[in-house]
Structure 1
Amino acid sequence: MTKRTAHIISHTHWDREWYLPYEKHHVRLVELMDTLLDTLESDPGYRSFFLDGQTIILEDYLQVRPEYRSRLEKLIQEDRILIGPWYILQDAFLTSGEANIRNMQIGHEDANRWGKVSKIGYFPDTFGLFGQTPQLMQQAGIDNALFGRGVKPTGFNNEVGESSAYESSFSELIWEGPDGSRVLGILFANWYSNGNEVPVQAEAAREYWQRKLADAGKYASTPHLLFMNGCDHQPIQTDLAEAIRMAKAVEPDTEFIHSNFPDYLDAVRETADGRGLSVVQGELRSQRTDGWGTLVNTASSRVYLKQMNTLGQALLERSAEPLAAYGHLLGKDYPHHLFTYAWKLLMQNHPHDSICGCSVDEVHREMVTRFDKSRHVAETIVADTTAFIANAVDTSVFGSYGSDALPFVVHNTAGWTRSGAVTIELDAARIYFREGIGFGEMNRRMNELDISGRVLVDSEGLPVHCTVEDLGQLFGYDLPDDAFRQPYQCRRVRLTFQAESVPALGHASFAWVKADVKPQDAPAIAHSERVLDNGVLRAEVAEDGSFTLTDHRSGRVFSGLGVYENTGDIGNEYMFMEPKGTAPITTRGLAASVRVLANEPYRASLEIVHEWAIPASADELLEREQREIVFMQNRKSGRSQQLITLRLTTVLSLESGSGRLDITSSFDNQAKDHRVRMLFPTGLEATVHTADSIFEAAVRDTTPAKEWKNPSNAQHQQAFVDVSGAAADGGTAGLTVANIGLNEYEVLRDGSNTIAVTLLRSTGELGDWGYFPTPEAQCIGAQKVQLAVIPHSGDGAGEGAYAEAYQLQTPWTAVQTGVHSGKLQPVGAPLAWRGESLAFSAFKVSPVSGDVVARLYNLKREAGQLALQAPHSSSAAYKSSILEQDSGEELQLTDGGLQLPVGPAEIVTIGLRA
């Protein structure tokens, strides 16, 4: 029989920012690292330390202690400090799939510079885990995942609860992803601090180990018991070697080892075979708990952060990277260094206490600055690359309109061919200061410039409907690569029009020219002040501002959409809690004013305005209960009797030929302690629904497990949530609700399978292990959110509804250029692909191989087929992994194209070698 072994692993879980601002935690980190280096160098019995799985700690430490680099490097190379595989410990559900991959890539890149990457799938305190984690781990060469949440109840102050519905019989388990990938899962069943502060005195050590060994043995499937010696911001235990010697004395039948994760995992694997480990499948969202400690409502805490993050991710992965890859194929250097910098800035906002919006106010103020900084880098890459590509596009076709033709190039960086409304600002004329013309004369010329008689044409010479706004005279400047800045005065106009069928990842050319042609008449989309109809969809607004959506393709009708719901919230940044004895109020039956906001041939909009009286806040009892740290389930506070007006402005927009109705909601929030949602009753019969998650269209039960006690069953989403099922007439239908940065939804058990999307949640405290007031989490001030409704016939993946949802988050890009020849056709794309139910994820250049890579994934649990036409410069193709290395698994290119089977839920990365 194998002797019982206690594996003691030293670590500290380092939240960079949380209940203290970043720099206050930073100072404590420097002190901890100083002590760690001294201890490792002076005490050979202190074998090793796991640096929390995130390489950013090295950056943070050396920012203050650059003189200790060599000491740190020596200990890492001796395997006494284990680093990686991540750059930061990110939240799982609130960061995009590509952000998760960049986190792994940059973590590996940083760790490799120091020595060796720890192949440990480390998620100690992640607030649940997405179902595709096993596949991502396997593709990164990691065969394990260690985590604290998602399977067993975890509540206030990270207290681990008991549950008869514990999803695994042991703390060791097999975790299987939707594609069939499996990893060895290790649940921190007694939390990642169960070996913290080991006593040195005999009596205390005897009591400690009797209790700790029994607790760990309760769940362990093998004689190898894991004890995590550390906790949040925990200073290292400098007398641990002595404490281990005492442990051996008081428990002689147990072998005590100052261990590390590789040794511990090897020992578990050797003894776990045949022990009947449970197989846990898919997402780990604490589904089999009472639902009070899942922390899911961090998805709606400080919604503005989620919106900024979604836009920042989209700008990098859906604009800057595809454009830079296109430019690379044309000979421009790919700015790996700038992308790493921009991604690192963005990812510094991705730890769970940061992006989840569950820290003190100072933390989230600094996050806004980081979002801005990352965005500024990405915008610069986009501007430089689009100008480079535009210079390579042949726009000479527009030369026939004269020397004053104003060409521009529109880029569709989405992974699908699409049409849509595009806006660009053009300089109709410029006068540079270097020309020596006085300001008075410059101003006169710009103001008197004749911009009449112009029309927008495409590269075929066909006129295009557009709206022209004269922005007047403006100041601008160029920043040449080889000269000092060049200021100018210009006359600027703003054009808005519909770009038709721009190829995926490609471009199309247009010009605003003087010509005596007009676009053909087009049918109006706004049929009255309450009706939009483009021949595909019809939206009709009722007296209370709700709307009915009719899908002309199928005849399906969805009624009562767009109602607002308001409830009190006496919870905190982590969890929503509706006051007892209260009920939601809605705008159902509340009269709204409606008017036509715009009615262009390419897009029409209706504006709906509500004046809604809601409670101003919680009652006065809430503040006392917060200060007394009354757990939210026991709070008795209610809603204030004082009312305040919430003015809601909703804009419904429908584009020509589109199967998507866009919704923008704006309001000035002056209320506190409440939640605002928008409701979309589907009227469909279904027991499950689908939500966009990380590389997965996750299928979830609408009714929670029997253990669930929380009245709310809110959940995470990325780009969309969908209900598909039986319609009243016996057929099938589906309704997809897409969003930009609205990560929380709930499918209500109201008989209509209503999709409720959270637009705002206002709370006043952090809510963990003490009282930390967070007045800025009330989100007082102007708010603006964007959604879209996409009806379909029941197969959202196959019919393109999910692809449409992804495109909502992908911005159009347009850049002015001149009339010139070029090696690119006026309309074109660097590659093309086909694949039903596949989603396009990335088009970039690998930082490892230097090859162009394309990444897609299968939205369905059944095999698919990918057809891809490679760039003209590609000489070979190979199947890679998320680390984007050249795997040597060659794919056959025939006439520049390839055919590749794609497994169920598979994530496919293809390298394209020049």
Structure 2
Amino acid sequence: MSTTCHVVSHVHWDREWYRPFEGYRSRLLELVERVCDDLDAGRIASFHLDGQTVTLDDVAALRPDVADRVRRHAAAGRITIGPWHVLADNQLVSAENLVRNLLLARRTAGDLLSDIGYSPDAFGHPADLPRVLVGFGIDTALVWRGAPPEHARFRWRSPDGAEVFTVNQAYHQAEVLWPDDPADAATALEAFVRREADRVPAGPQLLLNGGDHLVPPRPAERAEAIEAVRRATGVAARPSTLPEFFAAARTAAASAAADLPVVEGELRNLGDRLTFLLPGTLSARAYVKSLNDRAQTLLERFVEPAAALATVTGRGPANAREALAHAWDLLVKNAPHDSICGCSVDEVHRETTVRAERVLEVGDQLVRRAALAEDLDVRGDGKPAAGTVDVLVRSGSGDDGDGPVVVDVVTAAGRYVVGLRDPDGHEVPVEAEHLGAAQWFEADLDLLPDTLRGERHRLAFVARDVPAFGWAVYTAVLGDAPTCSPAHAAGRAAVVDGTRLVVADDASVTLTGPDGATWTGLGRLVDGGDRGDSYTYDPPADDELVTPSVRAVEVVSSPVRTRLVVSAALDLPTSLDVSRDARSAVRREHPVTLVVERWVGDPVLRWDVRLDNAADDHRLRFHVPVAGAPTTWQADTHWSVQDRPFGPVVGALPEAAGLEAAIGTAPAHTFAVAGQGTASVAVLLDALPEVQGLDAAATGGPHEIAVTLLRSVGWLSRFDLRTRTTGAGPAFEVPEAQCHGERRVRLGVVVGADATDDLALARTAAAHHVPLRADQLRAPAARRRSPRGAAPRVQGALVSAFKPAESGEGVVLRVANPSARPASAVVHLPGWARRVAETRLDERPLDGAPSTGAGADGLLPAQLGPYGVRTWLLRTDDR
């Protein structure tokens, strides 16, 4: 068994978890200073600072002298940091969030970054992570949770073909060299190297000497144990670094007789003992996920495009670049797996909530100030509107398009909406609901703070042909009496565009299309018990499933849309009983309001679900039936679509200690779809990352797609679950993870042919996820629409990013093909794009890609392979 065991001393540093951030940072300062002292004295040769540069920022904020020492050691190769800014849960954030994470690391550490794709503690990995790493010049990955346990080394391939050399290795191996007694240390080390010899017979071996928030023992202090193991096994353990180990591992793999196995797609496999996937983190503290989604959507779809246009026009909000960087820094700090996953103590999630709200405040202010740069006044002027109200409709899409708009406007007292004109002055249908008297506060740099009084109205209309990443101004005409109010009537049925909608007793909807095709049970809410914790769903042995009962239905209709306003009740057990094996006999009725709407000319059936949760220990899901017996369902994640199997609610329960059951919940970003041909059905999502495909055996009826709306648990971790046979963290009570309070969710359902075309479905889902944004203008707008061609326009693909370049010169455009088929996209380049150069994700020039100018027709043809992504740097000069 002659081989080398590379001993890499390291720490895994959760920035916040079972203690809040400041409590951890005080320990981080001590650890980093001790590591630097050991390096200076030669007591250790090297140290891995957990693959994230945020530790450097956190130390520098209090001890810049210690941060300087870290940088000096990193420059000398004795400390490795990065390549990430934070070790994110890379399933729960967007693809662009991951890209910004890596870009932030470059800003923080520059050339000091490691080139090892280190991410061993995320709770599974998305299929697109290899292409993200390759896009930053990284061709290696170290993973653990979710990796196939039968492979210690493999080639991990993204759907687009990007590939990284991947090592499957647990990061938490402190117990191997930790014992004080040399004999105990030798026993632990020998057991480790013998296990590794079975996994990687040809070697080399990797021992990650460290764990969570621990100063590891110095290898020199275990020299006696290391020598004893070498004599017993022939394995020589020596201090090393991750780059040294990966170089040796690649050499060994290249000289092996057999090729490395290829693993394609996402890594969400059940692991060996104590290698937990922990899928309950997809739904724990849903409010955390919702706020993160709102914040990253605002930055990606509205703030960055506005800042990009300001870069090339020279007109934009003051300090926009700095404010945008600040917002991303705040948001990325919410991405670590113990933060966005909702599996930390309550104090931590109060902080993550505040960080996300700060991002929303920064982003909203930047978008509003960008409107001022277009001579559009969204500030108050102290004069409530009496004659007309202008509404600014802004697009977060990379193509011109239409979309529904709902916006509140305020007017002078006694004034009502009597009509609506589009940017060209044509009358358009509008629904205007008077909401009553209003009082609001106005203030700005040049506006004396004041409280105004008048009337509030809610407008609903369809905006047409809004320019890509541009805007259009609609004008509401006011009069003395309301003339555009919707009609209200009692009843459970409505017809829109020949489609009949009927509300059932359980608040689900039956849809019958113009051709007579019928879908029943759409949007059925099902609530069940959950005796699990923030990491893992665990149903009671004697569970009780509860569905709503309808109390009343009102049909609200106008020429724009029809809404079924459903008042229902969920009679929920208040908690589990004392045994935790069944739900409580004590019950409380929870009012539920569901607004199911269909806009004229729109194939999407939309839900707005509202519940004020006061119950504990339960899970509420939104079910959609699927015709036939398909074996798989699909969902989009980052830049590709994944196939997942239909199956039971929970797989076979584990019997041995340290294992977990297969639970078929999986991440999704904007849609989930199943079925064949005209029997297809898709659910459009909004900040709901957990979806499951249930087979007929699980439902007792048809196959179903189930989307988790709410999961309430009261423990960080428990040691008495059936679906996981030990704890996954400390057994702390976290009462705020019960998620009491209002929960509001937007979903959509598309049926039949409209759910079959993958590109069309992806566009529909993107429009649902990022609806048109509307704001009342306080002064009449002279310009009615943003100039055509101010921003790039993309047809045949989706825009993933339109942002200022990191270099400060030019802007970056990234497009993605959301289809399993090759796509021929066309980019309509703006006139200011004098020079176009294709780049990697890190915005560095793509090898062999020429720098060109825009064609005479201003068109840039773009061929994209299945799930392909391409990035260009657009510049206003000829360099």
Q: TM-score, normalised by structure 2?
A: 0.89
Once the two structures are overlaid, the 10-residue window that deviates more, 680-689 or 244-253, is 244-253
Instruction: Check 1:486–1:194 CA distance in 2 against 1; reply closer, same or farther (3 A cut).
Output: closer
1:865-894 residue CA offsets vs partner (Å, 9 max, x unmatched): 110101110112122221123445335632
Give me the whole-angstrom Cα distance separating, in 1, the residues matched to 2:71 and 2:31: 17
Instruction: State the match for 1:144 in structure 2.
Output: 140
Residue 62 (structure 1) shift: 1.8
The residue identity in structure 2 corresponding to 1:366 is: E
Instruction: Check 1:694–1:16 CA distance in 2 against 1; reply closer, same or farther (3 A cut).
Output: same
Tell me if the contact between 2:144 and 2:275 (Cα under 8 Å) persists in the aligned partners.
Answer: no
Instruction: Check 1:784–1:863 CA distance in 2 against 1; reply closer, same or farther (3 A cut).
Output: same
The counterpart of 1:389, out of the listed 360, 364, 374, is: 374
The residue identity in structure 1 corresponding to 2:664 is: N
The counterpart of 1:343, out of the listed 328, 353, 368, is: 328
Instruction: State the match for 1:325 in structure 2.
Output: 308
Instruction: State the match for 1:807 in structure 2.
Output: 767
Once the two structures are overlaid, the 10-residue window that deviates more, 325-334 or 735-744, is 325-334
The residue identity in structure 2 corresponding to 1:802 is: A
Instruction: Check 1:500–1:618 CA distance in 2 against 1; reply closer, same or farther (3 A cut).
Output: same
Instruction: State the match for 2:22 in structure 1.
Output: 23
Tell me if the contact between 1:205 and 1:250 (Cα under 8 Å) persists in the aligned partners.
Answer: no
- Is residue 893 from structure 1 mapped to residue 854 from structure 2 by the alignment? yes
The residue identity in structure 1 corresponding to 2:405 is: V
Tell me if the contact between 1:206 and 1:251 (Cα under 8 Å) persists in the aligned partners.
Answer: no
- Is residue 776 from structure 1 mapped to residue 721 from structure 2 by the alignment? no
SS of the residue corresponding to residue 338 of structure 2 reads: helix
Give me the whole-angstrom Cα distance separating, in 1, the residues matched to 2:417 and 2:524: 45
Instruction: State the match for 1:858 in structure 2.
Output: 817
Instruction: State the match for 1:375 in structure 2.
Output: 360
Give me the whole-angstrom Cα distance separating, in 2, the residues matched to 1:425 and 1:561: 30
Instruction: Check 1:828–1:907 CA distance in 2 against 1; reply closer, same or farther (3 A cut).
Output: closer
Instruction: State the match for 1:743 in structure 2.
Output: 689
Tell me if the contact between 1:11 and 1:51 (Cα under 8 Å) persists in the aligned partners.
Answer: yes
- Is residue 734 from structure 1 mapped to residue 680 from structure 2 by the alignment? yes
Instruction: State the match for 1:409 in structure 2.
Output: 392
Residue 719 (structure 1) shift: 1.5
Instruction: Check 1:391–1:452 CA distance in 2 against 1; reply closer, same or farther (3 A cut).
Output: closer
Matches within 5 A, 1:547-562: 547-552=509-514, 555-562=516-523
Instruction: Check 1:304–1:503 CA distance in 2 against 1; reply closer, same or farther (3 A cut).
Output: same
Instruction: State the match for 2:624 in structure 1.
Output: 680
Matches within 5 A, 1:460-479: 460-466=424-430, 467=432, 469=434, 474=439, 476-479=441-444
Instruction: State the match for 2:422 in structure 1.
Output: 458
Tell me if the contact between 1:833 and 1:866 (Cα under 8 Å) persists in the aligned partners.
Answer: yes
Once the two structures are overlaid, the 10-residue window that deviates more, 137-146 or 888-897, is 888-897
Matches within 5 A, 1:838-849: 838-848=797-807
The counterpart of 2:339, out of the listed 331, 334, 354, is: 354
Instruction: State the match for 1:118 in structure 2.
Output: 114
Instruction: Check 1:195–1:903 CA distance in 2 against 1; reply closer, same or farther (3 A cut).
Output: farther
Tell me if the contact between 2:691 and 2:707 (Cα under 8 Å) persists in the aligned partners.
Answer: yes
Tell me if the contact between 2:681 and 2:755 (Cα under 8 Å) persists in the aligned partners.
Answer: no
SS of the residue corresponding to residue 842 of structure 2 reads: coil
What is the number of equivalent residue pairs in this alignment? 837
Give me the whole-angstrom Cα distance separating, in 2, the residues matched to 1:35 and 1:207: 28
Instruction: State the match for 2:190 in structure 1.
Output: 210
Residue 778 (structure 1) shift: 1.2
Instruction: State the match for 2:545 in structure 1.
Output: 584
RMSD over aligned Cα atoms? 3.2
The counterpart of 1:229, out of the listed 206, 209, 217, is: 209
Matches within 5 A, 1:273-672: 273=254, 274=256, 275-286=258-269, 293-332=276-315, 335-391=320-376, 406-425=389-408, 451=415, 455-466=419-430, 467=432, 469=434, 474=439, 476-480=441-445, 487=450, 489=452, 491=454, 493-494=456-457, 496-498=459-461, 499-513=463-477, 529-535=491-497, 537-552=499-514, 555-587=516-548, 590-596=549-555, 598-622=556-580, 637-672=581-616
Tell me if the contact between 2:628 and 2:702 (Cα under 8 Å) persists in the aligned partners.
Answer: yes
Instruction: Check 1:221–1:129 CA distance in 2 against 1; reply closer, same or farther (3 A cut).
Output: farther
The counterpart of 1:77, out of the listed 75, 78, 82, is: 75
1:818-840 residue CA offsets vs partner (Å, 9 max, x unmatched): 456569657775222211xx332
Once the two structures are overlaid, the 10-residue window that deviates more, 91-100 or 684-693, is 684-693
Tell me if the contact between 2:390 and 2:781 (Cα under 8 Å) persists in the aligned partners.
Answer: no
Give me the whole-angstrom Cα distance separating, in 2, the residues matched to 1:376 and 1:807: 23
The counterpart of 2:835, out of the listed 848, 858, 876, is: 876
SS of the residue corresponding to residue 681 of structure 1 reads: strand
Tell me if the contact between 2:121 and 2:171 (Cα under 8 Å) persists in the aligned partners.
Answer: no
1:41-74 residue CA offsets vs partner (Å, 9 max, x unmatched): 112x511111111111011112221233332221
Tell me if the contact between 2:496 and 2:562 (Cα under 8 Å) persists in the aligned partners.
Answer: no
- Is residue 86 from structure 1 mapped to residue 36 from structure 2 by the alignment? no
Q: TM-score, normalised by structure 1?
A: 0.85
Tell me if the contact between 2:716 and 2:733 (Cα under 8 Å) persists in the aligned partners.
Answer: yes
Matches within 5 A, 1:76-225: 76-112=74-110, 115-152=111-148, 166-168=149-151, 171-188=152-169, 190-193=170-173, 196-198=176-178, 202-225=182-205
Tell me if the contact between 2:419 and 2:477 (Cα under 8 Å) persists in the aligned partners.
Answer: yes
Identical counterparts, % of pairs: 30
Instruction: State the match for 2:723 in structure 1.
Output: none
**Structure 2 unaligned regions, length at least 5:** 379-384, 654-660, 718-727
Residue 35 (structure 1) shift: 0.8
The residue identity in structure 2 corresponding to 1:585 is: V
Instruction: State the match for 1:761 in structure 2.
Output: 711
Residue 130 (structure 1) shift: 0.4
The residue identity in structure 2 corresponding to 1:53 is: G
1:603-624 residue CA offsets vs partner (Å, 9 max, x unmatched): 22111122232322111123xx
The counterpart of 1:56, out of the listed 42, 51, 54, is: 54
Instruction: State the match for 1:694 in structure 2.
Output: 638
Tell me if the contact between 2:174 and 2:216 (Cα under 8 Å) persists in the aligned partners.
Answer: no
Tell me if the contact between 1:534 and 1:658 (Cα under 8 Å) persists in the aligned partners.
Answer: no
Tell me if the contact between 2:399 and 2:795 (Cα under 8 Å) persists in the aligned partners.
Answer: no
1:514-555 residue CA offsets vs partner (Å, 9 max, x unmatched): 699999x99x99997323333164422123322112344x65
Instruction: Check 1:833–1:556 CA distance in 2 against 1; reply closer, same or farther (3 A cut).
Output: farther
Instruction: Check 1:827–1:550 CA distance in 2 against 1; reply closer, same or farther (3 A cut).
Output: farther
SS of the residue corresponding to residue 593 of structure 1 reads: strand
Give me the whole-angstrom Cα distance separating, in 1, the residues matched to 2:650 and 2:686: 32
Give me the whole-angstrom Cα distance separating, in 2, the residues matched to 1:866 and 1:564: 40
Give me the whole-angstrom Cα distance separating, in 2, the residues matched to 1:284 and 1:531: 45
Instruction: State the match for 2:222 in structure 1.
Output: 243
The residue identity in structure 1 corresponding to 2:671 is: F
Give me the whole-angstrom Cα distance separating, in 1, the residues matched to 2:706 and 2:25: 40
The residue identity in structure 1 corresponding to 2:421 is: V
SS of the residue corresponding to residue 692 of structure 2 reads: strand
Give me the whole-angstrom Cα distance separating, in 1, the residues matched to 2:620 and 2:435: 38
The residue identity in structure 2 corresponding to 1:193 is: Q
Residue 287 (structure 1) shift: 5.5
SS of the residue corresponding to residue 678 of structure 1 reads: strand
SS of the residue corresponding to residue 223 of structure 1 reads: coil
Matches within 5 A, 1:823-842: 830-835=791-796, 838-842=797-801
Instruction: Check 1:818–1:784 CA distance in 2 against 1; reply closer, same or farther (3 A cut).
Output: closer
The residue identity in structure 1 corresponding to 2:139 is: D
1:473-507 residue CA offsets vs partner (Å, 9 max, x unmatched): 74544433xx6856574756545131123233222
SS of the residue corresponding to residue 539 of structure 2 reads: coil
The residue identity in structure 1 corresponding to 2:60 is: L
Tell me if the contact between 2:145 and 2:276 (Cα under 8 Å) persists in the aligned partners.
Answer: no
Once the two structures are overlaid, the 10-residue window that deviates more, 798-807 or 714-723, is 798-807
